[in-house]
Amino acid sequence: MRLICGVVQLDGTSANPSVLARMTTALSAPGLRVRLQQRIDGAAGLAILDFSHSSNLATQPAALPEAPDGTWLAADMRLDQYPGGVPDSLVFAALEKWDLDLPDRLDGDFALAAWDPRRGRLCCARDIMGVRPLCYVYRPGELFAFASLPRGLHASGVVAPVLDMVVLGRRFVQPGIRETTTVFEEICWLPAGHSLEVSAGGLRVHRAWRPDPQQVGIWRGSAAEAAATLRSLVEEAVSCRIPATGPVAAHLSGGLDSSAVVVLAARRLREVGRKLHTFSQLARPDSKVKDEREYVEAVRAQEPDIEWSPAYLQTPQETGLADPDLPLGGAAAWSSFRICEAASAAGCEVLLSGAGGDEGATYNGAGLYAAVLRAGYLRALPREMQAIARREGKSALRVVAGRLLFPFLPDRAESLLPSRLGQAIVPSPAEVAFAFLSAPFAQQVRQTLPPRWSWRNRPIDRVQMLTESYLVTRADNWSIPAARHGIAFSYPLADRRILDFTLSLPLNRLVDGGFARQPFRNAMAGILPESIRWRTTKFSPFPDAAKVLVGEEPELRARLDRIRRSPAARELFNLNAIAEGLGTVPKASQALEFAEVVARQG
C-alpha cells in the first residue's frame, strides 16, 4: 500500500520542506515500516509513502520518478494489466496521451499527482470507483495541497482540523450520501473517476469517467453466453488483484458477492501454495440472533484451507476514540479497524471485498421484473412468474401482483399501502435520525440534502447506481482504517471490464429461472455453494446491534449525562430524544456518538 501527499505554492514562493515533512509524518502510522520518496524543488513538494513489505527501506528518502520532460510523479497505483507492478514510464506516457481523461483510460485502483515545473501545473487523478483515496485543499492565488487522507493536510498546518457540522449532519441522516466534501472545513475529496489541474491561473476539476446511458442494454446474446462471459471476467478480476507474493485477506459476508470473491481467490492462491485469510462480521455467538453464519460455514466447508476469523460488533465500552479522519465511524468502523489490524498481523497487504456487486455484477435493482415488462420483454415473463410461484409456494396471481403491478404504484400510494392493510408505517432511517437533532439544526441539514435518487432500472439509473451512489463514500471510509495498518482494499466486482459488460446487458438478461441477480448466479455454478448461489435473503452485518445496546444502556446514559454539559451539543441535538431512544434504537447510539464528536470539537 502507498499513500501520497504534496503542496504547490501558487503565490510565487517556494514550497516549505517542513510542511511536507509534517504531512509524511502524519501519514506514517505507528508500527508501520515505510519507504519514503520525495522531492521539493521550487514551488512544489511531493511525496510517496510505501508501506509494502517488499519495499527497499532506506535511511535517506529516495527520489520521485521523473519523466524525460521533467514531470515528477507521486502515485498510489495498481493496474489490472500489470499485476507485478506498474512501470513509471507507462504512467508518464498515459498522462502525456490522455491528460485529464486518464481515469477513463487506465483500469485499476489508483490516485496520482504529477507536477510539470515547465508549465507550473499539477495534475491529479483518481480511479473510477475511488478505491484509492485523495483529498485536497485549494486557496486561490496562495496554495494547493493534497494528501491521501485528511490527517496529512491537518498536520501540514495548511488547514485546521475543524469539523463541518452540517456535512456531519448529512452523513448522520444519510450515511451513504455521495458528496465531494469531507467532514472537515476546506477539505474536499477528489471525486472518483475525476481528475483536476491546478496552476496559478486556477483550478479545474474534470469528470473523466462518463458511462454512456445509450450503451446500456445493447449486448445481444443468450443467457448461457452472458453467464460464460461474466464468469471469465470475474475470474480475471479476482486473479489480477492478487499480489505476486504473500498472503491475502478478504471479507466473507456469506452473500453472493463476497463468497464468490473468496472462493476464486482461495483457489488461485492454493495453486501457488499461499493462504487466504477471511473475516466475517457476525452477531456474537451468545446473542442467539440469526445472522450469516450458516452461509459463511458453507464456504468454509467447501474451501477448508482458508483461514477464518469472526468480527463482532464492538460495545461502547470496547471502542476508543474515533479515528480523527472518521469521526462518525461508530462501532462498525471499529470492526473494520480490527479486521485490518488482524490482516496486517497475518502479513497481508491486500484485502479483497465484494463491494460494488449489487450495482453491477449481481445487479439488484428494485422492481426489476416490472422494468422488464416496461421494456417490452414479454415472452419470458410468464415462465419467470411461474418459476417464482413454485419456489415461493404462492399463487401465480399473487406473484404477478407483487412483481409486475405493485412497482407501478406512485411513491405516495406505495407509502400509504401499509396503513390500508392495517400495518404500522415504519419511519425511514432518515426520519428517525432527524428526530435526534434539534429542530433548527435538523432544518439546516434538511435544506442541504440533495434530492434522493429514485432508481427505476432505466439506463441512466443503472449508470447512476455506479457513479452517484454510496459506493465511493464507503471506499473513502474503508481506506482510513486500512491506511492505519498498511492495507489496500480492492474490489474485484467493481472491475471496469465487469462494469462495462453488466451495463451492456439488457434487462431480460438480468433475470432467469425465476431469479434476479442474473447472469451471476448461472455464472457461479461450481464456484459458489448451492445454498448461497440460490439464496434470496441477506442479513445485515451485526444484526445483534439492538441487543448489544440494551446491555450497554447504563454506560450510554452515563456518556449522555457528560455530553449535556456541552453547550454545542445542547444546541445541535435533541438530547431528551436520544435518552428515550437509548437501548432500543441503534440510531440513538449513533446520535450519541455524533454528539460526543461535537462536544469534543467544542
Q: Is the pLDDT of residue 543 over 90?
A: no
Q: Containing H/E element for 568? A: helix 567-572
DSSP string, 249-290: EEE--SSHHHHHHHHHHHHHHHHTT--EEEEEEE--GGG---
Q: Do the two domains 2-207 and 213-360+474-533 of this chain adopt the same fold? A: no
Three cell numbers written together for 342: 488482524
Residue carrying C-alpha cell 520518496: 37
Positive/negative CA dihedral, 499, 502, 505, 506: negative
pLDDT tens digits for 41-97?
999 999 999 998 765 555 567 899 999 999 999 999 999 988 778 889 999 999 999
Domain layout of the chain by residue ranges: 2-207, 213-360+474-533, 367-408, 545-601
Q: Helix, strand, or coil here: 294?
A: helix
Rounded to whole angstroms, the Cα distance separating 538 from 564 reads: 39
Choosing among 3.60.20.10, 3.30.70.1230, 3.30.70.1070, 3.90.320.10, the CATH entry for 2-207 is 3.60.20.10
Torsion of CA 158, 161, 162, 165, to 10 degrees: 130
Torsion of CA 530, 533, 539, 541, to 10 degrees: 100
pLDDT tens digits for 295-310?
999 999 999 999 999 9
Per-residue pLDDT, 259? 98
Q: Is the separation of the CB atoms in 97 and 109 below 8 Å?
A: no
Positive/negative CA dihedral, 174, 176, 179, 185: positive
pTM across the whole model: 0.94
Mean pLDDT of the chain: 91
Highest CATH level, class, for 213-360+474-533: alpha beta
pLDDT tens digits for 174-233?
887 787 889 999 999 999 999 999 999 999 999 999 999 999 999 999 999 999 999 999
Rounded to whole angstroms, the Cα distance separating 545 from 105 reads: 43
Nearest to 356 by CA among 217, 227, 241: 241
Q: Is the pLDDT of residue 290 over 70?
A: yes
pLDDT tens digits for 242-253?
999 999 999 999
Rounded to whole angstroms, the Cα distance separating 76 from 111 reads: 5
Nearest to 168 by CA among 415, 546, 461, 445: 445
Cis, peptide link before residue 519, omega less than 30° from 0: yes
Q: Which amino acid is at 237?
A: A
